[in-house]
Structure 1
Amino acid sequence: MKIRFTKMQGAGNDFVVLDETRSRLNLSAGQYRFLADRHFGVGADQILTVRPAPEGVAGQGLDFEYVIHNADGGEVEHCGNGARCFVRYVREKGLTAKDAVKVKVVGGVLELRQNPDGRVTVDMGAPVFDLKRIPFEPTGLEARSQGSWQVWPLDIEEKQDHPSANRSDSAPVLVAVLSMGNPHAVQVVDDVDTAPVQTQGARVERHPAFPRRVNAGFMQVVSRSRIRLRVFERGAGETLACGTGACAAVVAGIRLGLLDPRVDVETRGGQLTIEWAGASGDLAAPVLMTGPATTVFEGEIDIPELT
């Protein structure tokens, strides 16, 4: 099967975007993995699929629906950098002339706005702190208070794979846990350049307390208005930027008493600006994310039959 695609990136987080506004491609998990493969396919952190607004959704004023698949072929709830690329895509393709659109994703409804400077602002909705909704199952774990919130100790050392090993010298990793439409575990580190993102990230991602796995964030606080961030994404590994990860890190930093309401987030792929009014006590305030979205190239590719 031959399909057309657009390659896009937002702060280095890269995507293959597919148009299903006219008909469904009905791709399998294996075909999504093929598209994301950087050696045999196009190469991407995630695959974004644009669809018409679903029928029968009254009163929401939806313009589109979009579906997100990770590089491992699994469908996920949310992607902030992808949302920015989404709005640029539908405008460039003439699918809408609106500067602001409302789209349905698995994790809810997003409001996206293209700004005059070319950057895109996404209303990411309110963060979720209810443990069952994240989901996070802290059986056997004891929260530790920090700021106006709490962090959770996770045992993620290699010794967890060997129950008979002595754990007395294993220091747990302290993470703040929340959802931005997808689950995040954020830890504060002294220096993101030397943080063990690959090893710890993989273990945090699959820690048994997260039944649907988790995105592992490593946050270095530079000042109250600036952080540096690396994220080991669920199903994708470390990416150059993670929009929901940036939102989760800033929300966590605010609740832990480390950050102000507006923060510039420096990722390896570029800078994002995150705003959240939750410091005033309004935990249901939406998180606003502003950043770049760029079309890289377009093309056509033959996709083999894969399951």
Structure 2
Amino acid sequence: MTLSFVKMHAHGDDFVIIDRRGQTDPITSAVARRLGDRNRGIGFNQLAVVLDCEDAAARVVFWNPDGSPLDTCGSATRGVADTLMREAGSSSVVLRSNRGLLTCVREEGGAISVDMGKPSLDWQSVPLAEAMDTLNLPIAGSPVACSMGNPHCTFFVDDLSVIDVAEWGPRIETDPLFPKKTNVHFVQVIDRSHIRLRIWERGGGIAQGSGSCCCGAVVGGIRRGLLDERVQVQCDGGTVSVQWDGSGGVILSGRVETVLQGTVAQY
């Protein structure tokens, strides 16, 4: 049996879209893991499966390359939105994910924006293992935590070049403080509207970029009083824009690009 797919990326954050509208959904944890293998499968940071939906243009289900599910992915959401807007000849679309209804818009110049919803700032929602202030976690480096539908832990550092992401990322991801593990961000503030970000992604490892991680990092910086409400986030793979007024939804904006499309012969 063959399975059609489209591979895209957003600032180096690569994802695969499988459109199963009008069809059954064959994706399981084992299938996602096989497809995510960069040597024997397609390879991706996230997999987005597009399904029929009664109250939105489509429902989107996300998977990590290790076969674990996740509730949100800002990059893949924008990729699906770009595809469906081109299909419908429209400049906006509403998608449903486990995060809720997500409004996406094609901006002037071609960037795709998505309202990622309000961040969750209480310890239960991240979630953390016990009650504490999410603005200052009891971990060396005093990181900030929040949830964007998935958990985020953000460290602010003076010099990003001296941080060994491959060493510290997995340590923090699996810290007992995070019962569902966590995404880990290392942020150097360039100025109040510009940060440099490196990412260790839960279930994926070092990532060139990540939409939800960019959002989580900016939310942490704004809560700390380090950033203004509109920030350019420079990742290893490129730059996106994140806007948050401190109370409403977090708006993620940037371009998405198609890499290739094809079929998998066996999955």
- TM-score, reference length from structure 1: 0.83
User: SS of the counterpart of 2:242?
Assistant: strand
Distance in 2 (alpha carbons) for counterparts of 1:27 and 1:246: 27
Q: CA deviation at 1:218?
A: 0.6
Q: Deviations over 1:149-208 (max 9, x none)?
A: 831122xxxxxxxxxxxxxxxxx2321010111110001012223212111110111111
2:60 maps to which residue?
A: 66
User: SS of the counterpart of 1:210?
Assistant: coil
Q: Give, as a single letter, the amino acid of the residue that structure 1 aligns with 2:137.
A: W
User: SS of the counterpart of 2:81?
Assistant: helix
Q: CA deviation at 1:91?
A: 3.1
Please say if residues 85 and 92 of structure 2, whose CA atoms lie closer than 8 Å, have aligned partners that are also in contact: no
User: SS of the counterpart of 1:174?
Assistant: coil
Q: Count the aligned residue pairs.
A: 267
- Asked if 1:80 is matched to 2:81, the reply is no
Distance in 2 (alpha carbons) for counterparts of 1:129 and 1:28: 31
Q: Give, as a single letter, the amino acid of the residue that structure 2 aligns with 1:118.
A: G
2:85 maps to which residue?
A: 91
2:104 maps to which residue?
A: 112
1:146 maps to which residue?
A: none
2:250 to 266, 271, 287: 287
1:204-215 paired onto structure 2 within 5 Å: 204-215=172-183
CA RMSD in angstroms comes to 1.5
Q: Give, as a single letter, the amino acid of the residue that structure 2 aligns with 1:237.
A: G
2:150 to 162, 178, 182: 182
Distance in 1 (alpha carbons) for counterparts of 2:245 and 2:27: 40
Q: Deviations over 1:114-166 (max 9, x none)?
A: 12311101111111112111111236xx65xxxxx831122xxxxxxxxxxxx
Q: Deviations over 1:206-240 (max 9, x none)?
A: 11111111100111101011000011111011110
Q: Give, as a single letter, the amino acid of the residue that structure 1 aligns with 2:99.
A: G
- Asked if 1:45 is matched to 2:45, the reply is yes
Please say if residues 123 and 286 of structure 1, whose CA atoms lie closer than 8 Å, have aligned partners that are also in contact: yes
Distance in 2 (alpha carbons) for counterparts of 1:45 and 1:241: 9
Aligned-pair identity (%): 34
- TM-score, reference length from structure 2: 0.95
2:200 maps to which residue?
A: 232
Please say if residues 3 and 302 of structure 1, whose CA atoms lie closer than 8 Å, have aligned partners that are also in contact: yes
Q: CA deviation at 1:5?
A: 0.7
Distance in 2 (alpha carbons) for counterparts of 1:193 and 1:78: 29
Q: Deviations over 1:16-44 (max 9, x none)?
A: 11011020242221211111111111111
Q: Give, as a single letter, the amino acid of the residue that structure 2 aligns with 1:200.
A: W
Distance in 2 (alpha carbons) for counterparts of 1:97 and 1:74: 34
2:138 to 153, 156, 162: 153
User: SS of the counterpart of 1:4?
Assistant: strand
Please say if residues 7 and 295 of structure 1, whose CA atoms lie closer than 8 Å, have aligned partners that are also in contact: yes
Q: Cα 1:153–1:299, aligned 2, differ >3 Å: closer, same or farther?
A: same
Please say if residues 81 and 95 of structure 2, whose CA atoms lie closer than 8 Å, have aligned partners that are also in contact: no
User: SS of the counterpart of 2:136?
Assistant: strand
Moved over 3 A (4+): none
Q: CA deviation at 1:107?
A: 2.0
